[in-house]
Amino acid sequence: MCENPNVFITLWRFNMTTLDPQSGRTGAKIVGGGVGEGPGPDIMASATLDGNKVMSSDGEHVGKISDIMLDVRGGRVAYAVLSEGGFLGMGNTLHAIPWNALTLDTAEKCFRVDITAQRIKDDPGFDKDHWPAMADTAWGTQMHDYYGRRPYWLSSTDPLARSDDGVRPIDV
């Protein structure tokens, strides 16, 4: 109890509602026992993930991560961009994969996506000179549906989101 009983600190309870109702997670899943030096694998520099291979659910190497796309206003990772095909960066097809559709496998040092290689190839994707409007919710909803995920902006992952009763006062 503090000296002045009228003074208390109000703390917001973090509401980490899931984006993926099957797993109860808000971002990419992490599996494997591999742990490197530094802050990973829970917190990593995006440059560390560029070039990581991506494996499909049927075990096929389908490409590499070329970019990590941030929702700057929302403060979240939105998509990983998969670069598939081509040679030395020429003729690559790019695919936006919802961040919550990926699993980081630290033992194998790759990402896994829970759809088949053929399904990724069937996605028309885009090229480096013609990116989609990723902030467009219609496009984003379609992309999340394709990967069987709930759009990240529909969840209340805002760390300052209020709980049912608003705030939780505590005495100091």
Instruction: Report pLDDT digits (tens) over 14-65.
Output: 222 333 344 445 677 777 666 655 556 677 778 888 889 999 999 999 999 9
Q: Does 11 fall in a domain?
A: no
Give CA–CA dist 61/117, Å, rounded: 8
* pLDDT digits 0-9 by tens, 74-108: 888 999 999 987 665 566 899 999 999 999 998 88
Average pLDDT over the chain, rounded to whole? 74
The domain total for the chain is 1
Other C-beta atoms closer than 10 Å to the C-beta of 42 total 9
Q: Provide the residue type at 40 as one letter.
A: G
> For residue 30, what pLDDT is reported?
75
pTM of the model: 0.70
For the record, the structure tokens of 154 come out as 């529909």
What residue has token string 């209340």?
156
In a domain, 164, yes or no: no
Q: In this structure, what is the dihedral angle of CA atoms 166, 23, 100, 146, given to the nearest 10 degrees?
A: -110
26 within a domain of the structure (yes/no): yes
Q: Is residue 162 part of a domain?
A: no
Tens-place pLDDT, residues 117-131: 999 999 889 988 999
Indicate which CATH number applies to the domain containing 34.
2.30.30.240
